[in-house]
Chain A
Amino acid sequence: MNIVLFRIDDRCIHGQIIQGWKGLEYQHIVVINDEIAKDKMSKQLQLISVPDGITVYFYNTKEIPDMIRDQAQNTRRTIILVRNVEDALLVVQNGVKVDRLNLGVMSCNSSRTHVVNNAVYVSPEELELLKQIAGMGIRVEAQGVERDTAVKLF
């Protein structure tokens, strides 16, 4: 797998992915999320802005090993998207190799007391999970789009 971005984003595929990360010249998006994977309408909505030529695959979290098997020989420049820290941890625990985890959009809620930037809020529990990910040699940083300066957490 040729992973150019591994990102946590509440909104999965949206304007920031399509317009804000063009410079990566990605050709392939893998979305890993239980709710989206089981809902046809959600999948259709995720796909509407994706330009021709970019392929998209959806998996639920149980299918991560299948995803790794399916995508192993895929050389296309790939973005992996998850919607939360727990799923990001599952991806790397299953053996997906990345050197960086991008925190794109993690919306504010009452338990997310740690403010990283205007779109990334982290709870104490999530901070621990992110530390765990960082402990696997992965740089954890917040960055909305390419033009933003990355804020390194770990």
Chain B
Amino acid sequence: MIGIIVVTHGNMCVELIKTAEMVIGECQNIVAIPFLCHESCEERTLKIEQIISQVNQGDGVVIFTDLMGGNCCNISGMFLKDEKIAILTGVNLPMIINLVNHRNEGSFDDIVANVQKAGIKSIVNLREKIEQ
């Protein structure tokens, strides 16, 4: 089972997972890592390293981060040397739901690509959508 980590500035990641569980029920092998103001880059790196080994069951790990180029993204980025780790920035709820629901369907790279698509597709201007 693909491991899932959600890394954000503050507690958004904790709440995102809770919200996902409200929608689709209990999610397994998913861990939130909130980055708090006072933590050093070293502490944050260590935390991510520990959680990767915790959720990695050999099928790959997807790390969601909030802001592209933010510290969550930059620190997670140091783990990209492992081919079975993917990082998707700009996390939203549909991405998490998509991954939890489809994490066993297809190759790691295809699953990641589909999650990215699901995230982008979920952003619509409702008025434009309705008037189409």
Contacts and interface: CB of A to CB of B under 8 A. Distances in A.
Verify that A and B bind, or say they do not.
yes
A11 B74 contact: yes
Given A41-B78, A46-B74, A108 B69 contact: no
A41 B77 contact: yes
A48 B41 contact: no
A-B pairs, top 7 by smallest CB distance, nearest first, are A49-B69, A107-B40, A108-B38, A15-B70, A45-B77, A118-B37, A45-B74
A108 to B, nearest CB: 4
B41 A10 contact: yes
B39 interface: yes
A14 B70 contact: yes
B69 A13 contact: yes
Contacts of A109: 40
Interface string B63-103: 00001111101100110110000000000000000000000
A45 B37 CA distance: 20
- Interface size, B (range): 10 to 19
A48 B38 contact: no
B43 interface: yes
Interface of B: 9, 37-41, 43, 67-71, 73-74, 77-78, 80-81
A8 B78 CA distance: 22
Given A15-B9, A41-B77, A121 B70 contact: no
A18 B71 CA distance: 12
Contacts of B77: 41, 44-45, 48
Given A46-B74, A107-B43, A15 B38 contact: no
Interface residues of A, number: 21
Contact of A107 (B39, B69, B70, B80): B39
Contacts of B40: 10, 107-109
B78 A45 contact: yes
Given A49-B68, A108-B40, 10 more contacts: A13-B69, A15-B9, A15-B70, A41-B81, A42-B78, A107-B40, A108-B39, A118-B37, A119-B37, A121-B38
B41 A11 contact: yes
Interface string A28-72: 000000000000011011101110000000000000000000000
B93 to A, nearest CB: 21
A34 to B, nearest CB: 14
A47 B77 CA distance: 12
29 contacts: A10-B41, A11-B71, A11-B74, A13-B69, A14-B70, A14-B71, A14-B74, A15-B9, A15-B69, A15-B70, A15-B71, A19-B67, A41-B77, A41-B81, A45-B73, A45-B74, A45-B77, A45-B78, A48-B68, A48-B77, A49-B67, A49-B68, A50-B69, A107-B39, A107-B40, A107-B41, A109-B40, A118-B37, A119-B37
